[in-house]
A and B are shown apart, each in its own frame.
Chain A
Amino acid sequence: MVGLLDRRLVFVTGKGGVGKTTVAAALALFASEHGRRTLLCEVDAKGDVASFLETGPTAFTAGEALPGLWAMSMDTEASLREYLRLNLRIPVVGRIGPLAKAFDFVATAAPGVREILTVGKLCFEVRERHYDLVVVDAPATGHIIGQLAAPQAINELVKVGLIRSQTDWMLDILSDPEQTAVAIVTTPEEMPVNETIELVERVRQETTVELASVIVNRVLPELFGRSEEEVFDRLGGDAATEELTRLAGDDPAPVLTAARLAVTLRRTNAGHLERLRAAVDPTVPMLYLPFLFARFHGLRTIRQVASSLGEELGF
């Protein structure tokens, strides 16, 4: 299987709240630090990429956020304008009246139009070789299939016309595992794992894009091994607690309770991870990123995640 960094287009998706944007930004950062001219594209323009990279707001026109790392946010209307300008040689504004309104209408009426303009722009950047790698902070689980399958859907709906003639080369790029892949981010929790298992199956059945890896984010560290856990249990006994109170100068209860919480959480998570591993094709690599004990998240955490990701990718 081709390494994640050796592709040209990587979609990073996952259930809302699992750290999809963090992982996408970390992957892009890591790639740029390893000699790839990288474009990071935020599809749901929420501004998270800008805040994580601690740059100014991103726009449709990519800007170099860090050395070798460009960032952009998707804007389907801007994508349409660019497309018209490049392909139809239509001086857009003025000639076709209120483009914004017309676009809004067509995009609302015709399913897949927004998606095709998004995927189209991304494939275009790949085809034109503007970058070595395009990392997409893709839509969440519920929408990614629609996006990845948009060219096929359009092919079914639109029998002729310019869009139809465009979907073929996009499909070529999307369906080529040497070039394109999707990575699913999850956390070791019940709902994210459930959704990931479902999504893995849907990617396989409903799209032509290869699943490159499942990235498990926020994996809690293991506090102790089995025999150490026995020792820990005995430290919680009355006599030992009294002794610890004397030696440490105060009641150790909060500290011991916190350790018990950590052990239980880790154990619950381990159960979900086992379920995930059993459900995902064993040839699909799973990468594990540690939980970051940090107060706030910004570029510093992205760098930490990038370095963990690098280790997992074998760098």
Chain B
Amino acid sequence: MTPRRTSVAPAPSGSLDGLLASREIIVACGPGGVGKTTTAAAAAAMAAARGGGKVLVLTIDPARRLADALGLDGIGNTERRVPNEAFSSAGIKPRGELYAAMLDTKESWDALIRHHAPDDRTRDEILANPLYRNISGRFVQSHDYIAMERLFEIHSEGIYDLIVVDTPPTRNALDFLDAPERMAEFFSSRLLRWLIVPYRSRLVNFASKPFYQVADRILGTQFLADIAEFFILFQSMYDGFIERARAVQRLLADRRTSFIVVSTLETVPLREAEFFAQAITERKLHLGAIVLNKVLPDYLRDPTGALVAERLRDRAEEIAGVVAPQLGVDPAQVRRVLIEVGQNYMDYRLVAQGEAEKQAELSTAAETLVSVPYFDTDVHDFAGLMRLGAGLWGE
């Protein structure tokens, strides 16, 4: 049963094909709960299958079944090749190679410290510092930063032709875009040095400064001392760190990098997605595409469909009287089914129309607008991933 194409303006279904073929880094961002991680994985899988070369998907926190589908269960920070059997299970012979890695925030931070620490002693002291452990483990912004930092590191190794990176769900749409800059600002702030001063020099009578008095009364001396110790240790890595953060920032703005914003057409995620798109454009980063996920199918907006649905619902008794004897079933049951079926269409139609209106209003700041239909089952194997991938290719 294939419904006819609708006469309502069809949803534009662009393709990510061209964008992925022309970039080295694709950053997938967007609100939570819209299938961002799966979209990133599907796009990378398609790029590897169709385009060829070495493609890496760097994910943050994939669903267990997605991890399973990628053969990634139990894998951490290091990239691993997705076996060709995964592709062949979906009946595909890939032209390229697909790799996947999951971001381990703590491990990535530790690696960064090892890289920048001037000597073993400083390294060990930082790694053991309770404040550092808190920052690297719990501090939300550190996730944003480290995801971009890890991307930079992998990119600079030059192994992959294309890296598709999923972004962590952020409290604020702009956090991960600004994270490198904020990190740099943070470690170079005058305030930081100012705060450390009394602990470095006994010449300053810090009790006389009102700021320290207040800080001391609120936070307690020990905690302030802990902070100071941590930053004194960190200062030895300061230059390298800032340079690195700036390099990460440059990479995001580079023309080899493009951003895609993933959303659904629901009110709240869509509004957030529009903020993302705006933030990307304002920062003069490249907004390559907007991907709309879980879009209700076109046939729900078919005007004759609505007419039929209303007739089936409103004239259910009459129609049941004719059809039921032919099928040899209870007319009362047929009547109930027809009412439900007709009403169901009208219900879904209402939602689909709302979606279409929102899609039409969506500012098309991006070069490409891709809409992927609502699949009635979740992605739980590689074939499902490739089905989503085909949708991203506008097929």
Contacts and interface: CB of A to CB of B under 8 A. Distances in A.
Question: Which range contains the number of A residues in contact with the other chain?
Answer: 35 or more
A297 B267 contact: yes
A253 B297 CA distance: 13
Interface stretch (A32-40, A139-147, A207-215): A139-147
Contact of B33 (A17, A239, A253, A295): A17
B376 A158 contact: no
Interface string B327-347: 101100110111011101101
A97 B334 contact: no
A93 interface: no
A160 B350 contact: no
Interface residues of B, number: 91
Interface stretch (B17-25, B147-155, B303-311, B386-394): B303-311
Contacts of A253: 1-4, 299
A111 B139 contact: yes
B118 interface: no
Given A161-B220, A240-B327, A297-B267, A111 B134 contact: yes
Contacts of B134: 111-112, 157
A223 B344 contact: yes
Contacts of A247: 311, 315, 318-319, 322-323
Nearest to A48: B268
Interface string A1-39: 000000000000001111101000000000000000000
A269 to B, nearest CB: 10
B297 A261 contact: yes
Nearest to A293: B347
Interface stretch (B69-77, B211-219, B236-244): B211-219
B120 interface: no
Nearest to A297: B267
A192 to B, nearest CB: 7
A295 B302 CA distance: 16
A211 B302 CA distance: 45
B11 to A, nearest CB: 15
Given A251-B304, A261-B376, A160 B227 contact: no
Contacts of A232: 337, 341
A303 B323 CA distance: 41
Q: Chain B contact residues: over half helix, strand or loop, or mixed?
A: helix
A250 B357 CA distance: 26
Interface string A75-109: 00000000010001010000111000110011011
A176 interface: no
Interface in B192-237: 192, 195, 210-211, 214-223, 226-227, 231
Given A17-B31, A109-B227, A235-B334, A250 B354 contact: no
A159 B64 CA distance: 40
B32 A17 contact: yes
Nearest to A146: B138
A262 interface: yes
B351 interface: yes
B191 interface: yes
Q: Chain A contact residues: over half helix, strand or loop, or mixed?
A: helix
A294 B354 contact: yes
A161 B139 contact: no
Interface in A216-244: 223-224, 227-228, 231-232, 234-236, 239-241, 243-244
B348 A262 contact: yes
Contacts of B169: 16, 140, 142
A251 B308 contact: yes
User: Which of B266, B305, B307, B336: most chain A Cβ within 10 A?
Assistant: B305
B171 A143 contact: yes
B377 interface: yes
B309 to A, nearest CB: 5
A233 to B, nearest CB: 10
A162 B304 CA distance: 70
Interface in B127-160: 130-131, 134-135, 138-141
Contacts of A249: 307-308, 311
Contact of A18 (B2, B33, B308, B374): B33
16 contacts: A88-B218, A102-B215, A105-B195, A109-B227, A163-B220, A191-B63, A223-B341, A227-B333, A247-B322, A248-B315, A251-B3, A251-B304, A253-B299, A255-B345, A258-B309, A258-B349
Given A109-B135, A240-B323, 18 more contacts: A17-B34, A19-B268, A105-B191, A110-B219, A146-B140, A162-B218, A191-B33, A194-B63, A223-B340, A240-B326, A243-B326, A248-B308, A248-B315, A249-B308, A253-B2, A254-B305, A293-B350, A295-B357
Interface of A: 15-19, 21, 44, 46, 48, 84, 88, 90, 95-97, 101-102, 105-106, 108-112, 139-140, 142-143, 146, 157-164, 189-192, 194, 223-224, 227-228, 231-232, 234-236, 239-241, 243-244, 247-262, 264-265, 268, 293-297
